[in-house]
Chain A
Amino acid sequence: MSSHDPFDDLTAELTALADFLDVPNPPPDDVAATVRARLEPTPATPEASRRPPAQRRRRARWRIVTAIVLVVIAITAATPQGRAAVRAILHYASIELRLSDSTPRPVTTPTPLPGEHSVAPADLAKQVKFPIKTPTALGTPERATVSDNGRVASMFWPGGIRLDQFAGTPSPYFFKTLGPPWPEDVQVAGVTAWWLGGSHPLGYIKREDGTSVPLRQAEPTLIWQSGTTGYRLEGAGTKEHAAEIAASLR
């Protein structure tokens, strides 16, 4: 018994069960051909070749926009005033938005991100596992930090502007608890970004056990995702200024 894993029989059963599970599996050659068609550069008709993915992206985008709008309507319509209760949780760009029916209690003691340490702005790209971009509208940051074993890169500019960049993963990194004002969608370089126009509690979700760690009270923030990287831009002041900075990422 001692050398035996107590779950051997159960794991064998689970592995056997896998063979009985039915999942959609379209013909691999068809999938490969469709993917290839989306990647194929066709200089003669560039518009036509780009249309299908654009439509698809638009559809995905509208699903997200609609979801957030519907949730917000549901919360505002169906909620008695009073204690702040989280009514819905949305995930977007590796950020978990916990929508509450009234203004959540502010975080008073700021905590840094796990393992946050300063690095030279020029060295930032070497310290993380994903491609780093810089907003040309702001130029070289005053200082930079790396957190959580290279998962989050942060840049800081005078006036309290802060840009966090993080590799997209299935589990979120940040959470934000939001009461009114509700998130507003903003178009940034072809993707939908969300403007969180009020100051709100920001926290971090630990990779180890999924627990939530409050960080600080965040100023109005723009959040968005481009490719597989998530972004949050804090301290830009207005939605328009934030969108302008976001659109200048190179």
Chain B
Amino acid sequence: MDDDEAIRRSLAGDLSAYEALVARYSALAHRTAAMLGAGDEAEDVVQEAFVKAFRHLSSFRRDAPFRPWLLRIVANETHNLTRSRGRRSELAVRLTATADVTAPDDPAGSAVATDRRARLLEAVRHLPERERQAVVCRYFLQLSEAETAQVLDWPLGTVKSTTHRGLARLREEVGNELA
């Protein structure tokens, strides 16, 4: 059952079809909520977003892709539940503690790589908010420029220029050397 079929059946009231759709997008929705600042409330945010998405499914344009439409609702819910408390949204992620898979025979090299990743993540964390949102959507969530524009509700040109400014700032912060 592809997205279109699942949406068609959900609109007809088939909750099993919607359940399948939720299961399919659950991980991405949690990732999006956490990365846009939902923190320990990501699960609440995602649940609320899926409930709202179902209730507004009739306003979804069937010829458009489902993913950015859903993620925009997730982004919006993240904002509602967290920013309403007046705190700056934070990039709520951690580097995995698992052993480095890239260089098992080279502990020194892998320590350097781990350090490099930690520095890059810190630099992303400290970007101005809009630049961070753009960089997170484009590279951590791997959305296209058009999808990012839809999820954040920005003009496409703004996504391009904001991403560019964010990358320039990151380059300045962490320098040129590659891990």
- A-side residues, CB < 8 A to B, are 7, 9-11, 13-15, 17-18, 20-26, 28-29, 31-36, 38-40, 53, 56, 60, 63-64, 67, 71, 88-92, 130-131, 151, 167-171, 207-210, 225, 227-228
Contacts and interface: CB of A to CB of B under 8 A. Distances in A.
Give the interface size class of chain B. 35 or more
B75 to A, nearest CB: 4
Contacts of B30: 23-26, 31
Contacts of B16: 36
B86 A169 contact: no
B18 A207 contact: no
Interface of B: 15-16, 18-20, 22-24, 26-27, 30-31, 34-36, 40, 42-44, 46-48, 50-52, 54-56, 59, 72-73, 75-76, 78-81, 83-86, 92-97, 117, 120-121, 124, 130, 133, 135, 138-142, 151-155, 157-158, 164, 167-168, 170-171, 176, 178-179
Dominant SS among interface residues on chain B: helix
A24 B43 contact: yes
Contact of A170 (B36, B95, B97, B176): B36
Query: Which of A20, A25, A40, A90 gathers most chain B CB within 10 Å?
Result: A20
Nearest to A71: B86
A131 B56 CA distance: 10
B159 to A, nearest CB: 11
B52 A228 contact: yes
A235 B43 CA distance: 39
B23 A32 contact: yes
Contacts of B135: 14
B33 to A, nearest CB: 8
A71 B86 CA distance: 9
Contacts of A207: 153-155, 158
A131 B96 contact: no
Contact of B84 (A28, A29, A91): A91
Contacts of A17: 117, 120-121, 139-140
B158 A208 contact: yes
